[in-house]
């Protein structure tokens, strides 16, 4: 259930962050050839439990209870498929944490939420939910309990229940059967850190009266079965419109912009136009190019998914049967409503001045002098519609925050937010968007870069090169893990693993709390897990955050611990 904000979720992927489909193209090949290029595709109705070759992602949580009957086994299997198609595990699992135990920060313009524990634990999870209660959550956005004694406990729309409302009753029950079968986790839910009056769930009644539409999927009688299944996947399970649409001031999706693209709120990323428009959407791509993009992580020549979409591909779309992704392609290209992009801002005079030199100094060594990219390592920038079509936010975001490797065991993209100015990044973006056959507008301004800089995330792979740690006064030399520090610098996720010279094994998994003043999560010390809160401080140089300091005790009576994580700018 990708919530619309993300491990990168920012309002409403609580899906996005964060979730659906995205950009790029080459020309015509057939669906048959697309199917032939997917040797790892699972059988219809099943999913891949592990990431496809070359991709990242988590192992899909497996049932631990033995089904009593073949019918229950089939229902659980269907539920697992639905959970992967809906990207539920990504939203409800902190990096490095127990599957579905929650705690992922979901940023909104009104404060932070944290995804709940949906394991079958009876105290902290959903183990006591009845079928009717689970249906009410998924279909109506109402969880057990109340608000102000007399109002139901309405769910915030970061959980895409407005889309799950379109799921069939049998599918909702299959999803519950799967969640009931996985390992229960005793991890308490995090309280919201939203500001008043948004903490009052009763106030959501007005929002629901204005914007909650229970209209089922409107199937066109002329649609093929392929288009019908694609519509079910896009509109309900994958909830693509939650990211790929514009929102009004009350954060509701504007129906007239469905799938036409939109800024992901509280993030620097832009979810592009994926309607059937042949000029601005995906209607003009070849079916094979779009299939490769969604199911196989793209290819040199047609680009690669990035931002929240990369995780959607790796944890959801690439795990589905090839026929399902082809159905998504068929619906998006031939049955979704075609919508064109709004007029682009006018080009700026001398907007590319200096951009060629910035590219030569910082980008050409990886992406090539002519933007051609390197096979299976660095995607092409030349003739790449995802670079030039629509706003430039995604290009700016990658320059600012860098990105993880396109394929495993290969090179990632470094961040340039501390080494390039707003003016340099604007000139670089305009140069790339208008070079080598790209048809973008040179309309990026330094103010555009500054706005995205305030929201961009830092991704850090922890190592002895950027991290120092001490336990009981002794330096630690075996360090691994990841840190994501969000744009507002008040939230983060951390997955840190340390091994001391004496053999002490330390694993800390958690998310920022108290507006960045602390980190709460799970400490596993020599195999024993406990919930802990650590102090968190920032190291600054002027207005820039250059590092984090995490400190406290490993357990109530454990040794003192501290770690310093540097946000290292790239070398020239």
Does 21 score more than 50 pLDDT? Answer: no
Does 24 score more than 60 pLDDT? Answer: no
State pLDDT tens for residues 33-52. 333 333 467 888 899 999 99
State pLDDT tens for residues 362-407. 999 999 999 998 877 888 899 888 888 889 999 999 999 888 788 7
**Can you spell out the DSSP letters for 519-544?**
EEEEEEETTEEEEEEEEEEEEEETTE
Sorting pLDDT into bands at 50, 70 and 90, what band is 502?
confident
Dihedral of the CA atoms 323, 8, 62, 84 (nearest 10)? Answer: -20
**Can you spell out the DSSP letters for 299-360?**
BTTTB---THHHHHHHHTGGGS-HHHHHHHHHHHHHTSPP-PPPPPPPPPTTTTTTHHHHHH
State pLDDT tens for residues 86-112. 999 999 999 899 999 999 988 887 878
Predicted local distance difference test score (pLDDT) of residue 10 = 39
Predicted local distance difference test score (pLDDT) of residue 42 = 84
Q: In percent, how much of the chain has pLDDT > 70?
A: 92
Looking at the DSSP bridge assignments, the partners of residue 493 are: 484, 511
- What value does the mean pLDDT take over residues 182-202? 87
Distance CA 326, CA 324 (A): 5
Predicted local distance difference test score (pLDDT) of residue 569 = 52
Does 420 score more than 60 pLDDT? Answer: yes
Stated length of the chain: 572
Averaged pLDDT of the chain: 86
State pLDDT tens for residues 439-458. 888 999 999 999 999 888 88
Predicted local distance difference test score (pLDDT) of residue 234 = 97
Q: Note whether 394 and 270 are within 8 A (CB).
A: yes
State pLDDT tens for residues 456-492. 888 888 998 889 999 988 889 899 999 988 876 778 8
Does 9 score more than 50 pLDDT? Answer: no
Pick 21 or 288 by higher pLDDT. 288
Distance CA 88, CA 341 (A): 30
- What value does the mean pLDDT take over residues 182-193? 92
H or E, element range at 211? helix 204-211
Predicted local distance difference test score (pLDDT) of residue 568 = 63
- What value does the mean pLDDT take over residues 217-235? 97
Does 414 score more than 90 pLDDT? Answer: no
pTM of the model: 0.86
- What value does the mean pLDDT take over residues 181-191? 93
Domains, in order of start, for the chain = 31-334 (no CATH), 355-453 (1.10.760.10), 458-566 (2.40.128.110)
């Amino acid at each position: 259930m990708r919530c619309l904000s993300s491990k990168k979720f920012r309002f409403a992927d609580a899906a996005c962050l964060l979730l659906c489909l995205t950009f790029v193209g080459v020309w015509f090949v057939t669906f048959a050839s697309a199917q032939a290029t997917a040797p790892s595709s699972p059988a219809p109705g099943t999913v891949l439990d592990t990431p496809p070759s070359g991709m990242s992602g988590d192992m899909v949580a497996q049932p631990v209870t033995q089904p009593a009957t073949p019918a229950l086994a089939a229902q659980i299997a269907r539920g697992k498929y639905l959970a992967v198609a809906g990207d539920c595990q990504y939203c409800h699992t902190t990096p490095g944490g127990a599957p579905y135990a929650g705690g992922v920060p979901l940023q909104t313009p009104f404060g932070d939420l944290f995804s709940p524990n949906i394991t079958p634990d009876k105290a902290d999870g959903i183990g006591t939910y009845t079928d009717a209660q689970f249906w009410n959550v998924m279909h109506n956005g109402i969880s057990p309990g109340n608000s102000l004694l007399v109002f139901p406990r309405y769910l915030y729309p970061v959980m895409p229940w407005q889309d799950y409302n379109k799921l069939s009753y049998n599918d909702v029950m299959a999803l519950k059967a799967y969640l009931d079968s996985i390992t229960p986790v005793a991890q308490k839910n995090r309280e919201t850190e939203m500001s008043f009056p948004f903490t009052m769930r009763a106030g959501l009644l007005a929002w629901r009266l204005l914007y909650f539409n229970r209209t089922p999927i409107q199937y066109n009688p002329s649609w093929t079965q392929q288009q019908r299944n694609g519509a079910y996947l896009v509109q309900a399970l994958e909830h693509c419109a939650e990211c790929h649409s514009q929102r009004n001031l009350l954060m509701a999706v504007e129906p007239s912009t469905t799938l036409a693209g939109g800024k992901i709120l509280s993030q620097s990323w832009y979810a592009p136009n994926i309607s059937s428009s042949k000029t601005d959407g995906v209607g003009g791509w070849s079916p094979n190019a779009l299939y490769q993009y969604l199911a196989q992580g793209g290819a040199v020549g047609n680009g690669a998914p990035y931002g929240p979409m990369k995780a959607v591909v790796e944890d959801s779309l690439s795990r589905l049967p090839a026929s399902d992704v082809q159905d998504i392609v068929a619906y998006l290209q031939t049955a979704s409503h075609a919508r064109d992009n709004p007029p682009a801002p006018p080009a700026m005079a001398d907007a590319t001045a200096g951009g060629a030199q910035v590219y030569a100094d910082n980008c050409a060594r990886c992406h090539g002098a002519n933007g051609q990219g390197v096979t299976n390592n660095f995607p092409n920038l030349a003739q790449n519609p995802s670079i030039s079509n629509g706003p430039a936010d995604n290009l700016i975001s990658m320059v600012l925050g860098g990105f993880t490797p396109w394929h495993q065991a290969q090179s990632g993209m470094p961040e340039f937010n501390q080494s390039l100015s707003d003016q340099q990044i604007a000139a670089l973006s305009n140069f790339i968007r208008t070079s080598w056959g790209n048809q973008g507008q040179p309309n990026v301004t330094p103010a555009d870069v500054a706005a995205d800089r305030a929201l961009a995330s830092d991704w850090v792979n922890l190592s002895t090169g950027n991290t120092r740690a001490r336990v009981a006064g002794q330096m630690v030399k075996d360090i691994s893990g990841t840190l994501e520090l969000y744009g507002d610098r008040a939230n983060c996720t951390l997955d840190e693993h340390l091994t001391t010279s004496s053999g002490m094994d330390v694993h800390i998994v958690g998310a920022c709390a108290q507006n960045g003043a602390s980190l709460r999560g799970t400490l596993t010390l020599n195999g024993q897990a406990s919930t802990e809160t650590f102090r968190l401080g920032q190291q600054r140089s002027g207005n820039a955050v250059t590092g984090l300091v995490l400190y406290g005790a490993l357990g109530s009576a454990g040794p003192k611990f501290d770690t310093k994580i540097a946000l290292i700018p790239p070398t020239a």
